[in-house]
Amino acid sequence: MGFFENLFKSQVKKVVSNAVDNAVDNWMGNSNQTNVSSNPVVSNPDEDDCCNNEAVVRNRVERVVAEEWPGYELRKNIPASELGAPFDARNYTYGLYLNGIPKATIIIIDNPNHYCKKDVRLAHEACERQGIFCMNLLLHLPNRRSYISERLRTNMPNC
């Protein structure tokens, strides 16, 4: 019975999570989201899941940049020292570069409490000193493509 109980619980969590996400999106005016389907197993993992899978979040970032920021180079695993951060700063998961100049950085964080740790703060401060936008993507949050896109668009208006 334990296997079936766990399976049922995971499906219920998925349905509830999707329903909450859709309600929030509808409340915020993003009516392009679909309603919860009667078959919770079939969903679009790129948009609908509250996924804490790093591979999915990375895919979303890469697709947003490729589709909405043509001409920008997306670099992976940027050493923090490259942007003037001290040796104990957190490395950047991604960097958006235009003509070799960094315009934004992204740090994917897997622990909900690590966004305020010293290494992350040092990385953010290094970007701040240079006028580079730095954003965290916390894996316990949905990180929808629309959210990633909007954050970049809002914080990189002059690029």
Residues 47-58: tens digit of each pLDDT: 545 556 899 999
Residues 51-77: tens digit of each pLDDT: 568 999 999 999 999 999 999 999 999
pLDDT of the residue at 42: 39
User: Where does the chain show beta strands of DSSP type E?
Assistant: 73-78, 92-98, 101-109, 133-138
Report the alpha-carbon distance of residue 112 to residue 94 in Å, rounded.
19
pLDDT of the residue at 115: 82
Q: Would the pLDDT of 22 be above 80?
A: no
The burial class, CB within 10 Å (0-12 / 13-18 / 19+), for 126 is buried
Are residues 152 and 104 in contact, defined by beta-carbon separation less than 8 angstroms? yes
Residues 85-116: tens digit of each pLDDT: 999 999 999 999 999 999 999 999 998 888 88
Confidence of residue 127 (pLDDT cuts 50, 70, 90): very high
Report the alpha-carbon distance of residue 82 to residue 46 in Å, rounded.
31
